[in-house]
Structure 1
Amino acid sequence: MSLLDPLHATAFTAFGQDVIWSDMVGNLAGLAALALGWRRSLLTWPVQLLSGVILVVAYASADLGGSVGKQLIVIIVAAWGWRQWRLGRGTGGGRIAVRFATWRERAALAAGAAAGTLAVGTLFTAFPDLSWNPWPDAYIFVGTLVAMVAQARGLVEFWFAWLLVDLVGVPLAFDSGLPFSGMVYVVYLVLVLWGMRDWWLRSRTQTPGPALEGAAA
């Protein structure tokens, strides 16, 4: 018996599909990480890292190579984002001073998303074993990376990127036999809209300055 077998076990059934423990626990951790990101808490990054590790197991069981790769990228970017916020938090608890991206930064994010989706989608198409649904999988893979990079830099556009990922992530999760992921994506959508409003308002009240500021967590 493998140590990972319990993570592949069924937790409950929803919409006629079995929900495995790794899918449920990993997505709940991801949901917590998003909520912590909305509060600008430093804890968002270690929780996101843990979520990525668990979801690697879930997506590997569903043969979603793109989503597995996405979670590996999530782990790397979470470690980087954690370092970025720690370096800028001063003596406080790791709050982030948010702002809108410059037009140059927006262009770079959009160009990176388009080029990355084209490259990854082409790779998945050429090697079908990596993903049974290459283009949506590639879109989510790259969109998640773009969102996390924007989050690490304290850009309000981070929420817009997550919104665009959610619009594809919900149907793909249900089609892939991961109903809990699909349900969590719906909750993500609500948090994204709420967090977007909060960061938007904060960006209007803060004076320009360093990307990170110290504050109590």
Structure 2
Amino acid sequence: MNPVTELLDATLWIGGVPILWREIVGNLFGLACAWGGMKRLVWAWPVGIVGNVLLFTVFMGGLFNTPQNLDLYGQAGRQVMFIIVSCYGWYRWSVGRQHGGHGQAGGNGAGEAVLPRWASNRERAGLVVAAVVGTVVCAWIFQSLGSWGPWADAWIFVGSVLATYGMARGWREFWLIWIGVDIVGVPLLLVAGYYPSAFLYLVYGVFVSWGFVVWMRVQKQTQQQGQPGEPALVG
């Protein structure tokens, strides 16, 4: 067996249940990405991408012969979308860091790449429309493909993409979207047998609630200092 295959198949047994190490490691990378996002650090994006690649191989269980042997197309597909949106976020935050997080030359020297703000009414409306339409369309697609739990899978996919995009834009709402994803994701993953991912979703639920409060405090401090709340960045 070659080293790549050994790495992909490395398994931890807990209570007689096989758990892939790459599922555990991929989720830990995701948690590190969330922590970096809370701190508004650019490296959060490439770290998240590594986790996305690992988790893609986990959720395409039928293709990669995981212990669950289930294809969750929404869970797998969102890893691909994460990578695409993360490239945008990586670029946007890199530019933001060069301009002090708010489009002003000189930087703030703290490594913070974006200033949190609430989305505008128009942006919120766009999020709602995208969430509803995207979930309906994706559920139909996933069901046609034979996905296990297509409706829950569809919302997790769409909500995750919207939350990642909101993070890239610096919208505080992205934390709330993540909470909505976690509420649906935990029972889906528990029933499907992806126990490390389900546990990490629980951890995410607590973490994103904390992150929302942190960003709220940052926005309040920014407003008190008289800095603009919308980074003047390209895109």
What is the aligned-residue identity percentage? 39
TM-score (norm 1): 0.91
The answer to whether the 8 A contact 1:85-1:212 is kept is no
Which of 115, 122, 133 is 1:115 aligned to?
133
Residue 110 of structure 1 deviates from its aligned partner by: 1.0
Local SS of the residue matching 1:123? helix
Equivalent residue for 2:66?
Answer: none
Equivalent residue for 2:19?
Answer: 19
Task: Give structure 2 stretches of 5+ with no counterpart.
Answer: 62-69, 99-106
Which of 149, 153, 157 is 1:137 aligned to?
153
Equivalent residue for 1:40?
Answer: 40
Local SS of the residue matching 1:11? strand
Q: Distance in 2 between matches of 1:172 and 1:179?
A: 10
RMSD: 1.7
Q: Deviations over 1:10-66 (max 9, x none)?
A: 12325x532111110000100111011111111110111111011011111231111
2:38 is aligned with what amino acid?
Answer: W
Which of 85, 89, 103 is 2:121 aligned to?
103
Local SS of the residue matching 1:170? helix
Which structure exhibits the higher relative contact order, with contacts defined as CA atoms closer than 8 Å and separated by 6 or more residues? Answer: 1
Is 1:82 the counterpart of 2:98 in the alignment?
no
Q: Distance in 2 between matches of 1:101 and 1:149?
A: 12
1:19 is aligned with what amino acid?
Answer: I
The answer to whether the 8 A contact 2:75-2:153 is kept is yes
Q: Distance in 1 between matches of 2:5 and 2:127?
A: 36
Q: Deviations over 1:155-208 (max 9, x none)?
A: 000100000000011111111211000111111011111001111122222135
Equivalent residue for 1:153?
Answer: 169
1:110 is aligned with what amino acid?
Answer: V
Is 1:49 the counterpart of 2:49 in the alignment?
yes
* Range 61-70 or range 161-170, more displaced: 61-70
Local SS of the residue matching 1:206? helix
Equivalent residue for 1:70?
Answer: 78
Residue 99 of structure 1 deviates from its aligned partner by: 0.5
Equivalent residue for 1:185?
Answer: 201
Is 1:209 the counterpart of 2:228 in the alignment?
yes
Q: Deviations over 1:67-121 (max 9, x none)?
A: 1101000111111100010111115424311101111111101111111101100
Q: Distance in 2 between matches of 1:204 and 1:25?
A: 35
Q: Distance in 2 between matches of 1:138 and 1:4?
A: 30
TM-score (norm 2): 0.84
Higher gyration radius (CA)? 2
Task: Give structure 1 stretches of 5+ with no counterpart.
Answer: none
Local SS of the residue matching 1:19? strand
Q: Distance in 2 between matches of 1:8 and 1:138?
A: 28
Q: Which runs of 4+ in 1 moved over 4 A?
A: none
